[in-house]
Amino acid sequence: MRFGVTGMIPGDFNEIDEQLARRIAELGFTGVGAHLAGDPAAVTPALCQQVRAVLAGQGLQIIQFWGFYSSLVSPDESIRQTGVRQAQAILALAAPLGAAMVGIRPTSMNPLGVWWPHPDNYTPATEERLVRSLREIAVACEVHGIPIALECHVTTTLSSAHAVRRIIENTGSPWVKVTMDPVNFVDSLWSAYHTRTLLNECFELLGPYIVAAHIKDVYVENRHVVHISETIPGDGLLDFDTFFTRFEALLPDGYAFIEHLPESQIAQAAAFVNQKLKQLGISIR
Protein backbone atom coordinates (compact mmCIF):
# COMPACT_ATOMS: atom_id res chain seq x y z
CA MET A 1 0.00 0.00 0.00
CA ARG A 2 1.07 3.54 -0.67
CA PHE A 3 0.23 6.41 1.65
CA GLY A 4 -1.21 9.79 0.71
CA VAL A 5 -3.05 12.78 2.12
CA THR A 6 -5.67 15.21 0.89
CA GLY A 7 -6.35 18.68 2.23
CA MET A 8 -2.78 19.92 2.62
CA ILE A 9 -2.41 21.23 -0.94
CA PRO A 10 -3.91 24.75 -1.22
CA GLY A 11 -6.52 25.53 -3.85
CA ASP A 12 -4.27 28.24 -5.26
CA PHE A 13 -1.37 26.33 -6.79
CA ASN A 14 0.85 29.42 -6.61
CA GLU A 15 1.03 28.75 -2.86
CA ILE A 16 2.66 25.34 -3.26
CA ASP A 17 6.28 25.72 -2.18
CA GLU A 18 9.22 23.65 -0.96
CA GLN A 19 8.37 24.23 2.70
CA LEU A 20 4.89 22.78 2.25
CA ALA A 21 6.18 19.83 0.22
CA ARG A 22 8.78 19.08 2.88
CA ARG A 23 6.13 19.19 5.63
CA ILE A 24 3.97 16.69 3.74
CA ALA A 25 6.90 14.34 3.08
CA GLU A 26 8.01 14.46 6.72
CA LEU A 27 4.61 13.07 7.72
CA GLY A 28 5.38 9.96 5.66
CA PHE A 29 3.30 10.62 2.55
CA THR A 30 4.38 10.13 -1.05
CA GLY A 31 1.08 11.01 -2.75
CA VAL A 32 -1.23 13.98 -2.43
CA GLY A 33 -4.73 14.88 -3.44
CA ALA A 34 -5.13 18.39 -4.84
CA HIS A 35 -8.33 20.38 -5.28
CA LEU A 36 -8.05 23.37 -7.61
CA ALA A 37 -10.06 26.34 -6.35
CA GLY A 38 -10.27 28.33 -9.57
CA ASP A 39 -10.50 28.08 -13.34
CA PRO A 40 -8.27 25.37 -14.88
CA ALA A 41 -7.55 27.74 -17.76
CA ALA A 42 -5.79 30.09 -15.31
CA VAL A 43 -3.15 27.46 -14.47
CA THR A 44 -0.32 27.99 -16.93
CA PRO A 45 2.03 25.29 -18.29
CA ALA A 46 4.84 26.99 -16.39
CA LEU A 47 2.93 26.73 -13.11
CA CYS A 48 2.19 23.06 -13.79
CA GLN A 49 5.89 22.41 -14.33
CA GLN A 50 6.74 24.34 -11.16
CA VAL A 51 4.22 22.40 -9.04
CA ARG A 52 5.45 19.05 -10.34
CA ALA A 53 9.08 19.98 -9.70
CA VAL A 54 8.46 21.25 -6.16
CA LEU A 55 6.54 18.12 -5.21
CA ALA A 56 8.95 15.75 -6.95
CA GLY A 57 11.81 17.36 -5.03
CA GLN A 58 10.32 15.78 -1.90
CA GLY A 59 9.32 12.51 -3.55
CA LEU A 60 5.68 13.55 -3.93
CA GLN A 61 3.18 13.23 -6.77
CA ILE A 62 -0.37 14.44 -7.28
CA ILE A 63 -2.33 11.18 -7.40
CA GLN A 64 -5.90 12.47 -7.19
CA PHE A 65 -6.93 15.81 -8.68
CA TRP A 66 -10.26 17.62 -8.35
CA GLY A 67 -11.86 20.82 -9.51
CA PHE A 68 -15.23 22.51 -9.57
CA TYR A 69 -17.93 21.94 -12.16
CA SER A 70 -21.68 22.39 -12.59
CA SER A 71 -24.23 19.67 -11.93
CA LEU A 72 -23.78 16.46 -13.89
CA VAL A 73 -27.33 15.35 -13.08
CA SER A 74 -29.28 18.52 -13.79
CA PRO A 75 -32.42 18.10 -15.92
CA ASP A 76 -31.44 21.41 -17.52
CA GLU A 77 -29.36 20.15 -20.44
CA SER A 78 -27.37 23.35 -20.74
CA ILE A 79 -26.25 23.07 -17.09
CA ARG A 80 -25.40 19.38 -17.47
CA GLN A 81 -23.36 19.99 -20.61
CA THR A 82 -21.52 22.85 -18.91
CA GLY A 83 -20.61 20.49 -16.06
CA VAL A 84 -19.30 17.91 -18.51
CA ARG A 85 -17.15 20.49 -20.33
CA GLN A 86 -15.78 21.77 -17.03
CA ALA A 87 -14.91 18.24 -15.90
CA GLN A 88 -13.19 17.62 -19.22
CA ALA A 89 -11.13 20.78 -18.67
CA ILE A 90 -10.03 19.43 -15.29
CA LEU A 91 -8.85 16.25 -17.01
CA ALA A 92 -6.92 18.30 -19.53
CA LEU A 93 -5.12 20.09 -16.70
CA ALA A 94 -4.46 16.86 -14.80
CA ALA A 95 -2.16 15.65 -17.57
CA PRO A 96 0.52 18.38 -17.34
CA LEU A 97 0.28 18.24 -13.54
CA GLY A 98 1.21 14.56 -13.73
CA ALA A 99 -1.91 13.49 -11.82
CA ALA A 100 -2.67 9.77 -11.84
CA MET A 101 -6.47 10.21 -11.79
CA VAL A 102 -9.24 12.80 -11.55
CA GLY A 103 -11.83 12.53 -8.81
CA ILE A 104 -15.41 13.00 -10.02
CA ARG A 105 -18.26 13.65 -7.60
CA PRO A 106 -21.77 12.85 -8.83
CA THR A 107 -23.21 16.25 -7.74
CA SER A 108 -26.81 16.49 -6.53
CA MET A 109 -30.29 17.61 -7.41
CA ASN A 110 -30.19 19.73 -4.25
CA PRO A 111 -29.51 23.35 -5.29
CA LEU A 112 -27.89 24.12 -1.93
CA GLY A 113 -24.88 21.82 -2.31
CA VAL A 114 -23.32 19.12 -4.47
CA TRP A 115 -23.23 16.65 -1.55
CA TRP A 116 -26.59 17.48 0.01
CA PRO A 117 -29.48 14.97 -0.18
CA HIS A 118 -32.52 15.22 -2.42
CA PRO A 119 -35.22 12.61 -3.14
CA ASP A 120 -34.60 12.90 -6.88
CA ASN A 121 -30.99 11.82 -6.50
CA TYR A 122 -32.24 8.23 -6.47
CA THR A 123 -34.58 8.24 -9.46
CA PRO A 124 -33.88 6.31 -12.68
CA ALA A 125 -33.94 9.58 -14.65
CA THR A 126 -31.20 11.13 -12.51
CA GLU A 127 -29.11 7.98 -12.75
CA GLU A 128 -29.48 8.01 -16.52
CA ARG A 129 -28.25 11.61 -16.70
CA LEU A 130 -25.25 10.75 -14.53
CA VAL A 131 -24.38 7.79 -16.76
CA ARG A 132 -24.63 10.02 -19.82
CA SER A 133 -22.37 12.64 -18.22
CA LEU A 134 -19.78 10.06 -17.23
CA ARG A 135 -19.69 8.64 -20.74
CA GLU A 136 -19.06 12.11 -22.14
CA ILE A 137 -16.38 12.92 -19.56
CA ALA A 138 -14.70 9.60 -20.37
CA VAL A 139 -14.06 10.88 -23.91
CA ALA A 140 -11.50 13.24 -22.36
CA CYS A 141 -10.07 10.34 -20.32
CA GLU A 142 -9.27 8.60 -23.59
CA VAL A 143 -7.62 11.72 -25.01
CA HIS A 144 -5.43 12.40 -21.96
CA GLY A 145 -4.88 8.83 -20.78
CA ILE A 146 -6.16 9.53 -17.27
CA PRO A 147 -9.03 7.67 -15.56
CA ILE A 148 -11.73 9.22 -13.44
CA ALA A 149 -12.31 7.91 -9.91
CA LEU A 150 -15.89 8.32 -8.72
CA GLU A 151 -16.48 9.90 -5.32
CA CYS A 152 -19.50 8.24 -3.71
CA HIS A 153 -21.87 9.06 -0.86
CA VAL A 154 -25.20 7.84 0.48
CA THR A 155 -26.66 11.32 -0.13
CA THR A 156 -26.03 11.08 -3.88
CA THR A 157 -26.92 8.94 -6.86
CA LEU A 158 -23.77 6.92 -6.06
CA SER A 159 -25.41 5.83 -2.82
CA SER A 160 -24.38 2.18 -2.48
CA ALA A 161 -21.91 -0.31 -3.84
CA HIS A 162 -24.70 -1.90 -5.89
CA ALA A 163 -25.65 1.46 -7.44
CA VAL A 164 -22.02 2.38 -8.14
CA ARG A 165 -21.29 -0.90 -9.92
CA ARG A 166 -24.45 -0.61 -12.01
CA ILE A 167 -23.63 2.95 -13.02
CA ILE A 168 -20.00 2.17 -13.87
CA GLU A 169 -20.99 -0.80 -15.99
CA ASN A 170 -23.71 1.18 -17.74
CA THR A 171 -21.16 3.77 -18.87
CA GLY A 172 -19.41 1.04 -20.85
CA SER A 173 -16.09 2.82 -20.39
CA PRO A 174 -12.87 1.28 -19.02
CA TRP A 175 -11.85 4.77 -17.85
CA VAL A 176 -14.56 5.06 -15.19
CA LYS A 177 -13.26 3.79 -11.84
CA VAL A 178 -14.06 4.37 -8.16
CA THR A 179 -12.37 5.48 -4.95
CA MET A 180 -13.06 3.07 -2.10
CA ASP A 181 -14.42 5.25 0.71
CA PRO A 182 -16.43 2.95 2.99
CA VAL A 183 -17.48 5.62 5.48
CA ASN A 184 -19.43 7.31 2.69
CA PHE A 185 -21.58 4.18 2.35
CA VAL A 186 -22.62 4.10 6.02
CA ASP A 187 -26.33 4.83 5.73
CA SER A 188 -27.80 3.50 8.99
CA LEU A 189 -27.07 2.50 12.57
CA TRP A 190 -26.88 -1.11 11.41
CA SER A 191 -24.17 -0.41 8.85
CA ALA A 192 -22.29 1.79 11.33
CA TYR A 193 -22.20 -1.10 13.79
CA HIS A 194 -21.42 -3.75 11.14
CA THR A 195 -18.67 -2.15 9.08
CA ARG A 196 -16.97 -5.48 8.39
CA THR A 197 -20.05 -6.64 6.50
CA LEU A 198 -20.23 -3.32 4.67
CA LEU A 199 -16.55 -3.44 3.74
CA ASN A 200 -16.72 -6.97 2.41
CA GLU A 201 -19.74 -6.10 0.28
CA CYS A 202 -18.00 -3.04 -1.14
CA PHE A 203 -14.83 -4.91 -2.02
CA GLU A 204 -16.75 -7.82 -3.54
CA LEU A 205 -18.91 -5.59 -5.73
CA LEU A 206 -16.44 -2.83 -6.61
CA GLY A 207 -13.10 -4.64 -6.54
CA PRO A 208 -12.57 -4.60 -10.34
CA TYR A 209 -13.06 -0.83 -10.42
CA ILE A 210 -11.26 0.40 -7.28
CA VAL A 211 -8.19 2.56 -7.99
CA ALA A 212 -7.60 4.24 -4.60
CA ALA A 213 -9.00 4.50 -1.08
CA HIS A 214 -9.86 7.23 1.42
CA ILE A 215 -9.09 6.73 5.08
CA LYS A 216 -11.43 8.14 7.69
CA ASP A 217 -13.55 6.81 10.54
CA VAL A 218 -17.20 6.96 11.57
CA TYR A 219 -19.09 7.20 14.84
CA VAL A 220 -22.66 7.48 16.08
CA GLU A 221 -23.51 10.60 18.06
CA ASN A 222 -25.58 10.40 21.23
CA ARG A 223 -28.37 12.73 20.14
CA HIS A 224 -31.69 12.54 18.35
CA VAL A 225 -32.77 11.54 15.82
CA VAL A 226 -29.87 9.75 14.11
CA HIS A 227 -26.51 11.46 13.63
CA ILE A 228 -23.64 9.55 12.03
CA SER A 229 -20.44 11.55 11.62
CA GLU A 230 -16.83 11.29 10.51
CA THR A 231 -13.95 11.23 12.94
CA ILE A 232 -10.18 10.68 13.10
CA PRO A 233 -9.08 7.20 12.01
CA GLY A 234 -8.92 4.96 15.06
CA ASP A 235 -11.47 6.93 17.08
CA GLY A 236 -14.59 5.37 15.56
CA LEU A 237 -16.27 2.17 14.47
CA LEU A 238 -14.64 1.29 11.14
CA ASP A 239 -13.05 -2.17 10.96
CA PHE A 240 -9.60 -1.12 9.76
CA ASP A 241 -8.26 -4.68 9.94
CA THR A 242 -10.69 -5.67 7.19
CA PHE A 243 -10.29 -2.39 5.30
CA PHE A 244 -6.52 -2.46 5.04
CA THR A 245 -6.22 -6.21 4.56
CA ARG A 246 -8.64 -6.24 1.64
CA PHE A 247 -7.20 -3.10 0.06
CA GLU A 248 -3.66 -4.47 0.27
CA ALA A 249 -4.76 -7.76 -1.30
CA LEU A 250 -6.49 -5.90 -4.12
CA LEU A 251 -4.03 -3.05 -4.78
CA PRO A 252 -0.66 -3.53 -3.05
CA ASP A 253 0.69 -0.52 -4.97
CA GLY A 254 -2.52 1.50 -4.61
CA TYR A 255 -2.78 4.75 -2.70
CA ALA A 256 -4.88 5.20 0.42
CA PHE A 257 -5.38 8.82 1.46
CA ILE A 258 -6.13 10.38 4.82
CA GLU A 259 -8.81 13.00 4.19
CA HIS A 260 -11.18 15.52 5.77
CA LEU A 261 -8.86 16.46 8.63
CA PRO A 262 -7.25 19.76 9.63
CA GLU A 263 -3.48 19.68 9.42
CA SER A 264 -3.28 19.69 13.22
CA GLN A 265 -4.84 16.19 13.32
CA ILE A 266 -3.09 14.59 10.35
CA ALA A 267 -0.04 13.45 12.34
CA GLN A 268 -2.31 11.60 14.79
CA ALA A 269 -4.16 9.92 11.93
CA ALA A 270 -0.91 8.96 10.20
CA ALA A 271 0.45 7.46 13.43
CA PHE A 272 -2.67 5.31 13.78
CA VAL A 273 -2.44 4.10 10.18
CA ASN A 274 1.24 3.24 10.53
CA GLN A 275 0.64 1.35 13.77
CA LYS A 276 -2.32 -0.56 12.33
CA LEU A 277 -0.45 -1.51 9.17
CA LYS A 278 2.49 -2.71 11.26
CA GLN A 279 0.15 -4.90 13.31
CA LEU A 280 -1.27 -6.36 10.08
CA GLY A 281 2.17 -6.94 8.54
CA ILE A 282 1.46 -4.52 5.68
CA SER A 283 4.34 -2.35 4.53
CA ILE A 284 4.03 1.15 3.13
CA ARG A 285 5.75 1.32 -0.24
- Structure confidence at residue 44 (pLDDT): 97
Measured in degrees and rounded to the nearest 5, phi and psi for residue 232 equal: -65, 135
What pTM was computed for the model?
Answer: 0.97
**What pLDDT sits at residue 129?**
98
Per-residue pLDDT of the chain (285 residues; tens, 9 = 90+): 999 999 999 999 999 999 999 999 999 999 999 999 999 999 999 999 999 999 999 999 999 999 999 999 999 999 999 999 999 999 999 999 999 999 999 999 999 999 999 999 999 999 999 999 999 999 999 999 999 999 999 999 999 999 999 999 999 999 999 999 999 999 999 999 999 999 999 999 999 999 999 999 999 999 999 999 999 999 999 999 999 999 999 999 999 999 999 999 999 999 999 999 999 999 999
Give residue 175's pLDDT: 98
What is the pLDDT at residue 66? Answer: 98
Q: Long-range contacts: 13-22, Cβ < 8 Å, 24+?
A: 13/43, 13/47, 13/51, 14/47, 16/50, 16/51, 16/54, 16/55, 17/54, 18/54, 18/57, 18/58, 21/54, 21/55, 21/57, 21/58, 21/60, 22/58
d(C-alpha 69, C-alpha 38), whole Å: 10
Please give the pLDDT value at position 49: 98
**Segments making up each domain of the chain, as ranges:** 2-280
* CA distance linking residue 12 with residue 43, whole number of Å: 9
Name the residue type at position 4: G
Query: Which CATH code of 3.30.300.10, 3.40.50.300, 3.90.470.20, 3.20.20.150 fits the domain covering 2-280?
Result: 3.20.20.150
Quote the CA–CA distance of 263 and 269 in Å, as a whole number. 10
Provide the pLDDT for residue 190: 98
pLDDT of residue 180: 98
Q: Return the pLDDT at 258.
A: 98
- What is the pLDDT, as a whole number, of residue 50? 98
Q: Residue length, the chain?
A: 285
| pLDDT value for 15 | 98
What's the pLDDT at 253?
97
CB-based contact 187:160 (threshold 8 Å): yes
